[in-house]
Amino acid sequence: MSSPPSAGAEEHPPHYILVSQSPLPSGPTASRPLYKSFTHPLIEYHYADDLPHALLPQNPQEHVLVLDYDPTNATPPIAQSLSTDLAVLGVKATEAPASGSATDDNPNPKKNSQIYVIETTQIPLDTSVEHDVDSGQALISEFKQRNTILRAALEYPAPF
């Protein structure tokens, strides 16, 4: 797919992507921890007409995140996790540091100069094989953990 000569760099696929992983707050009223770790993901470009099963994780330790980027849509991109133990909280998009603009001596002026940070958190693994119906405390604890993940995703700051 080629873009018209007057198309902006943001119409090209994302070039700068980071994954940020932060721990969940310890309780429902606790603030989000300031600690974050950033990683550079292995990026594979898949398009709308590609087979979707190619995105599935190949082994249980592999994490697959999908950044749904549509240059024709004015809304920010959406990220999703296809892994069972990783949750996406949100996506931040901003100008990449030292990326330069198209008017600079940039060797690739058509490159998307935005940096996309996909904020993630680990989902606690369910250690019990079966839920004990009599264990109300375990159910309440699991509910609180899942609620904390949902709350963190809903409170994630909007892209700037």
pTM: 0.67
Q: Which amino acid is at 98?
A: A
- In this structure, the number of other CB atoms found within 10 A of the CB of residue 117 comes to 19
11 or 73, which is more confident: 73
Q: Got the DSSP string for 80-107? A: EE-STTEEEEEEEEEEPTT---TTSS-S
pLDDT tens, residue by residue, 81-127: 998 888 898 898 888 886 555 445 555 566 788 889 999 988 876 65
Buried b (16+ CB within 10 A) or exposed e, 88-102: bbbbbbeebeebeee
User: Which residues lie below 8 Å from residue 8, measured CB to CB, with a gap of 6+?
Assistant: none
For residue 22, count CB atoms less than 10 angstroms from its CB and return exposed for 0-12, middle for 13-18, buried for 19 or more: middle
Domains, the chain, in order of start with CATH, read 13-154 (2.60.270)
